Amino acid sequence: MGRQLERAVLRALTHGEGERFTFKAGARALLERALKEDLEGPDRLDSVLCALRLAAAFDGSMRSPSAAAELRAVLRTDARVHRLLKNEVIDEKPIDRMRSFLRSEGREVMMRAPVFGARDKGETSWPKS
């Protein structure tokens, strides 16, 4: 039986004062147990993606950013979530890694397709003739 985390989220919600929804006191332990159950089940990816969609909904139309932050914090408590998303969802290509690296260094990212015979101010790795 999957999606224990989704059920736990719905059970632990209450109407908030400044926000539309918040979690009841002590909900964190309930959510972490449910996440553990989901990650040991056959539909673990579906459960994690459902939790991420719920967090996005809390941030957006449900106007409950603290509930979204709490749910994301619960997802971060288990390293298996990160591994699962990295291995099953994120399909990063080498060019994307290069762009990320360049941005992390604060460099401008201008990727261009190579042009046969082009020489550009010595910025090429082509051997000089």
pLDDT digits (tens, 9 = 90+) for 26-39: 999 999 999 999 99
Query: Is residue 39 domain-resident?
Result: yes
Share of the chain above pLDDT 70, in %: 85
In which domain, by residue range, is 65 found? Answer: 4-88
Q: Does 116 fall in a domain?
A: no
**HSE value, Cβ hemisphere, 13 Å, CA-based, for 110:** 2
64 is written with which tokens? 């409950």
When divided into structural domains, the chain yields a total of 1
Global pTM?
0.66
The H-or-E segment that residue 14 falls in is strand 13-15
Q: Which residue has the tokens 């939790």?
A: 51
- The string of pLDDT tens digits covering residues 80-113 is 998 888 888 776 677 777 887 888 888 877 767 7
Burial of 118 (0-12, 13-18, 19+ CB in 10 A): exposed
What digits encode the pLDDT tens for the residues 9-60? 999 999 888 899 999 999 999 999 999 999 998 888 889 999 999 999 998 8
Tell me if 124 is assigned to some domain: no
Any domain includes 10: yes
